[in-house]
Structures are given as structure tokens and as C-alpha cells.
Amino acid sequence: MTITRAPIELAPAERAVRLIGGDLTEKSLRLHLEGLPGIDAVGLEQRAASLGTRSIKTTSKAWALDRIISLIDLTTLEGADSPGKVRSLVAKAITPDAGDPSTPRVAAVCVYGDMVPYAVDALGGLHGDPDAGGISVAAVATAFPSGRASLAVKLADTADAIAAGADEIDMVIDRGAYLSGRYGLVFDQIVAVKEACRRADGTSAHLKVILETGELTTYDNVRRASWLAILAGADFIKTSTGKVAPAATLPVTLLMLGVVRDWHRLTGERIGVKPAGGIRTSKDAIKYLVTVAETVGEEWLTPHLFRFGASSLLNDVLLQRQKLTTGHYSGPDYVTMD
């Protein structure tokens, strides 16, 4: 007896159609993803550890610290977030170190969707593209952090944030669907959210796709999910929500950077990477900069291709920056709470 099942057709996302072909089905997507080369976990972790031993000193360190600040998505994602808290976060984003006006600004503030209007308002004239000196507003959407809601709710969540002025949408994938092998569902949802990122004037908010690597568990899953997200139209692939441990790790980020490098080799197109959660010290953040520069090239170290999703990282970088300028370590009382 043979069971015949109609092929499940997928939304014709441009990249996937170009790479896999016009008759895009769940099966053709699966064949593509499962044909990707495997990852050797030991080797990947060794390579990440070896990149972590680079010794970044003096002028290189000064450059790195400033660059880290300009790549930060300064984040608050708490149930207790309020307009006041968001205004305070924005103030910090604009003036990270009140004692040193030469300190660069962060790339974006990242908040829940209902906080977007307050962030936009607090930024005022500074609201804009970080590559042009502005600060963007990123909103987490699609039933963040679990992603457990109907597609209609996820799309409404996204549309709300866009309408309120969000420049970037950080969506989560449906990890349950991914782990049970329903790649098509995950794919179609990303395509739909990407569509919802479109504004009335034809422009589009940037879409960051959060894989929640801590729940995908294996490196092979992370690689496949990264390709899936890119094929579906992601502008950025992002490691984590910050709500699940482990969040960003250096090996996972190295792996995702490898995917982005391979995609660039294949298509000439540049995709961004955002490690988020768990990066708290300058020392750690510098390891990420080294990994980016030595894996995809330093042209990736710009806000539209690399971001840190972090909150406490900024203050540690400011302390290190003060140490470089003054030669003395200060303490937490010399940087502001946000």
C-alpha cells in the first residue's frame, strides 16, 4: 500500500525560490536543509575557544570598545517595563556616558511592542538609521518570547509595532514546530511576518529572526534553522530571546556567522547576525568582534550587519573605556543605572 500525500506548498519567498526552485514545497525545503554539511561540535567549540584567546590591547582595544557600543541594541524586556523605564533607557542610549561626550551612541533600543511609542517619542529627532547617526527602535514581536500563539496574533503583534514606528522587528520562530520537523510551518510564518513588516509607503522594517538556540539544542539544528530563516527572508539571524539559558554562546555565534559567510559566497547578499543574552563583559564582547572579523570579515562590524542584544554589557564597556582614558579603574557608581 502506498500513501500518497499532496505536497505541501510553501509561500514563494524570493530567496528560497531562487535557490531551491519554483516548486517550493515542504519536501524540497527539507531536502535542502538536510543536505547541509554537518557540524562537529568538538571542532566548533575548539575553534571558538581559540578565537577567544586573541589578545586585543591598546589602540585595538579602544577601537573595539567604541565599536561595541555602536553595535548594541540596548534592551529592556521585562514585565515591569513602563514608559518611565523606557524613557530612561532611551536617555542612556543617547548619552551612554554623561562624563564623556565622545562616547558613541548605541545602535538601537529594543523593547516590547507596546513600549514602541514611548521609545519613538523619547528619541525625537534622533530616531533613525544607526548607519546615519540615528538610533533605531527595535520591537520584539510574534508572542515573544515563547512564540506560542496563532499566526493571526503574531501578525497583529507585528503590525502594531510597525504602526507605532518600530524600525526593526525581532520575531521568534516556533521552536515546537521546528523540533517536530514542521519546517514548512516555521518557514511560512517567517514569510508572513516579513510581509507584515512592510509599511504603507513600500519601505520595510528590518526583520531579525530569533532562533532561540538554547531550545534547538544541537548545532546541526542551529545551522538548518539559520538557513531556513535566511531562505524565508530574514535580514538578521539572532541567537536568543535572553529568556532561555543558554542564550548566546561564542560557538553558536561562530556557527551562524559561518552560515552568513556561506550565504554571501553563494549569493553575494549580506545577512546580519545578532547574538543576544548572556554577553555581559567587554572581554566577552571583544571575543565576538574578533570572531566576526576573522570569520566573515570586518565589513560585518557595522550596525546593519552585526548587533549585540544586551543590557548590562554597556556599563561594563563604559567602565573599561574610562579605564583606558584615565588609566584607573572606577566602579559601578561612575556609570548610570538605566
Partner 1 sequence: MTSFLDYAPAPESTAILALKPSYGLFINGEFVDGHGDGFTTISPSTEKRIADIASANSADVDLAVAAARRAHDRTWSKLSGADRGKYLFRIARLVQERARELAVAESLDNGKPIREARDVDVPLVAAWFFYYAGWADKLDYAGLGTNPRSLGVAAQVIPWNFPLLMLAWKIAPALAAGNTVVIKPAETTPLTALIFAEILQQADLPAGVVNIITGAGETGELLVNHPDVDKVAFTGSTAVGKAIARSTAGSGKKITLELGGKAANIVFDDAPIDQAIEGIVNGIFFNQGHVCCAGSRLLVQENIHDDVVERLKARLSTLRLGDPLDKNTDIGAINSREQLDRIRDLSDIGESEGADRWTADCAIPENGFWFAPTIFTNVSTSHRIARDEVFGPVLSVLTFRTPAEAVAKANNTPYGLSAGIWSSNGSRILAVADRLRAGVIWANTFNQFDPASPFGGYKESGYGREGGRHGLAAYLSEAAPAARQAVTSKGATK
Report the interface residues with partner 1, using CB under 8 A.
Answer: 37-40, 42-44, 46-47, 53-61, 63-64, 67, 255, 258, 289, 293-294, 298, 301
Least separation in angstroms between CB 46 and partner 1: 7
SS3 sequence, 172-204?
Answer: ECCHHHHHCCCHHHHHHHHHHHHHHCECCCCCE
Burial of 42 (0-12, 13-18, 19+ CB in 10 A): exposed
Least CB distance to partner 1 at residue 48 (A): 10
Question: Which position has the grid cell 519546517?
Answer: 183
Residues ≥6 apart with Cβ < 8 Å to 327: none
Grid coordinates belonging to 53 = 584567546
Cell of 288: 565576538
Q: Which residues does residue 227 pair with via DSSP β-bridges, in sequence order?
A: none
Residues 6+ apart with CB under 8 A from 84: none
Residue indicated by cell numbers 519613538: 120
Nearer to partner 1, 190 or 296 (CB): 296
Q: Return the number of the residue (65 or 111) whose C-beta is nearest partner 1.
A: 65
Burial of 205 (0-12, 13-18, 19+ CB in 10 A): buried
Strands (E), 105-232: 108-112, 136-141, 168-172, 206-210
Residue 30 near residue 183 (C-beta atoms within 8 A): yes
Residue closer to partner 1 (CB basis): 165 or 297: 297
For partner 1, give the closer residue by CB, 145 or 258. 258
Residue with cell 514542521: 182
* Shortest Å distance, C-beta 135 to partner 1: 23
Nearest-approach distance from CB 246 to partner 1, in angstroms: 20
Considering the complex, state which of residue 47 and residue 175 has its C-beta at the smaller distance from partner 1. 47
Residue (of 186, 164, 166) closest to 174 by Cα position: 186
How many whole angstroms from its chain centre is CA 210?
Answer: 7
DSSP state of 100: -
The smaller minimum CB distance to partner 1, of residues 79 and 268, is found at 268
C-alpha cell at 68: 561595541
Least spacing, CB of residue 59 vs partner 1, in Å: 5
* β pairing state of 72-75 and 272-274: unpaired
Cβ nearer to partner 1, comparing 178 with 300: 300
CB of 291 to partner 1, least distance (A): 11
Active site residues: 170, 238, 274
Least distance in angstroms from the C-beta of 204 to partner 1: 30
